[in-house]
Amino acid sequence: MNKTPLRILVIEDELQIRRFLRTSLLAAGHELIEAHSGREGIQKVAYERPDCVILDLGLPDMEGLEVLQEVRSWSAVPIVVLTARGIEQDKLPCSMPEPTTI
């Protein structure tokens, strides 16, 4: 298992969620960068060059999917989508195959 600390950018507008992630990620030895909006997050991906991004879908200035599409147009940084949305249509489509029963 790789123990190298990562520079992780959290793009999240909810203070409670940022606090939880900050506590967890720092305790695990990672470096944390925070952004409170989509535009700020896009700028920080470009200038801070994180190893990984945790992205909320519901941001105050733009949808998380817009952030994802813009970042994907010029970066291959791994992005983990974090959402509290309960409606399946609001979530990202999954292209994984159906599970097979043996």
State the residue range of the domain holding 47. 11-78
55 domain-assigned:
yes
- The C-alpha atoms of residue 49 and residue 59 are separated, in whole angstroms, by 21
Number of domains in the chain: 1
Asked whether residue 2 is domain-assigned, the answer is no
Lowest mean pLDDT among 26-30, 42-46, 83-87, 98-102: 98-102
Residue 69 belongs to a domain: yes
pLDDT tens for 48-80 read 999 999 999 999 999 999 999 999 999 999 999
CATH number at residue 38: 3.40.50.2300
pLDDT the model gives residue 83: 82
The span from the CA of 33 to the CA of 31, in Å, is 7
In a domain, 90, yes or no: no
**Alpha helix ranges (H) inside the chain:** 15-27, 38-48, 64-72
* Tokens found for residue 65: 């999917």
Residue 88 reports pLDDT greater than 60: no
Examine residue 47 and state whether it is found in any structural domain, yes or no.
yes
97 within some domain: no
